[in-house]
Amino acid sequence: MSHIKLLKNHTLKATPQRLCILDTLQECGHATLEDVQKIISKKFPTLSLSTIYRNLNEMLQKDIVSEVKIANKKDYFELKKDKHVHLVCQNCGKIEDFEIATDDISKQIEAQTGDKVLNDTLYFDVICKDCLSAK
Amino acid sequence: MSHIKLLKNHTLKATPQRLCILDTLQECGHATLEDVQKIISKKFPTLSLSTIYRNLNEMLQKDIVSEVKIANKKDYFELKKDKHVHLVCQNCGKIEDFEIATDDISKQIEAQTGDKVLNDTLYFDVICKDCLSAK
DNA sequence: TATTATTTGCAAAAAATTAGCAATTATGCT
DNA sequence: AGCATAATTGCTAATTTTTTGCAAATAATA
Ligand SMILES: [Mn+2]
Ligand SMILES: [Mn+2]
Ligand SMILES: [Zn+2]
Ligand SMILES: [Zn+2]
């Protein structure tokens, strides 16, 4: 879906600032606030920091954007997309999305705890394929 | 292991302030900085906020303490313990530790990506047993 | 094109975190 | 037990990060 439609669907005006923020996230995949700020300052130098904060918060609220919180790292933002886990390379720092079924482990938890599992958020520290082959 | 030994093993002097911080984390299981601050202000009113910051950071460095980062929540701290996943009740907010094997899913990721998986960090949103039965 | 409710950019406020430094203290050694 | 010393603490002040208020600008609608 176009970013314009995405915004309108969530009753947000499609301002150039918002579109720029969405484009930046799309480009980056996963970006910290600092990343977003830095990239935007080139593409759109007048876009203010308040506007970045305000809109990232709004988009989080509206679930257009989600947060990726990795221990010992700054928080990342990403466009909301299909459910996926994150593979974080400990060598090059790259963060990759990966789709995998997590039903088995959820079922196991339900069976062993009596809790009802609604959702999950999984991170894997890896050495990525590229870093492995570069050795 | 006693907290005194734990500190000494990491070349940190066993000050009352540090012991108080460790006791607080042990008590709470998982505590935000705000939690720690609030609880400590009762047990040890003269312990300064700088000292809390300084020590939590040091203990993170030394891997005595770890961070629990959950989307849409403040960051939590906990004493380092055996590997476990986190079950986060969406009803009452409780965070529970749970030990479960994660080899299967790691192996699957390795097989499908060619990456080497070193470690994982898993969160599950749940409705906990207690909240379920309270309905 | 005119109207209007939203949104933006700026400047200022508030909140969170870190730094500098004199006074205090835990630890190891007589 | 008492000393020497490097580490640690509690302050206060500095930075950094995030939020707020508001006039000017602008996207959406008719
Ligand atoms: Mn992702
Ligand atoms: Mn835990
Ligand atoms: Zn890599
Ligand atoms: Zn619950």
Residue pLDDT, tens place only, B11-56: 999 999 999 999 999 999 999 999 999 999 999 999 999 999 999 9
* pLDDT for residue A39 is more than 90: yes
pLDDT at A2: 92
Contact flag A105-B125 (C-beta cutoff 8 Å): no
B57: Cβ under 7 Å from strand D? no
* pLDDT for residue A69 is more than 80: yes
* Cβ(B129)–Cβ(A113) below 8 Å: yes
Amino acid letter, B132: L
pLDDT at A1: 77
Q: pLDDT band at B64, cuts 50/70/90?
A: very high
Side-by-side strand order, sheet with B65-68? B31-32, B76-79, B65-68
B33: Cβ under 7 Å from strand C? yes
Span A92-113, average pLDDT: 97
d(CA A72, CA B123): 16
Q: What's the CATH fold of domain A3-79?
A: Arc Repressor Mutant, subunit A (1.10.10)
Span A81-107, average pLDDT: 97
Smallest Cβ distance to B114: which of A66, A90, A129?
A129
* pLDDT for residue B127 is more than 90: yes
Per domain, the residue ranges of chain A are 3-79, 85-134
The HSE-up count of residue B24 (CA atoms within 13 Å, CB side) is 26
Looking at chain B from residue 70 to 129, which residues have their Cβ under 8 Å from any Cβ of chain A? 70-72, 75, 85, 87, 89-90, 96, 98, 100, 102, 104-106, 108-109, 112-129
pLDDT at B134: 86
A92: Cβ under 7 Å from strand D? no
Within its chain, how far is the Cα of B4 from the centroid?
Answer: 19
Average pLDDT of the residues of chain A: 96
Q: Say which CATH class B85-134 falls into.
A: alpha beta
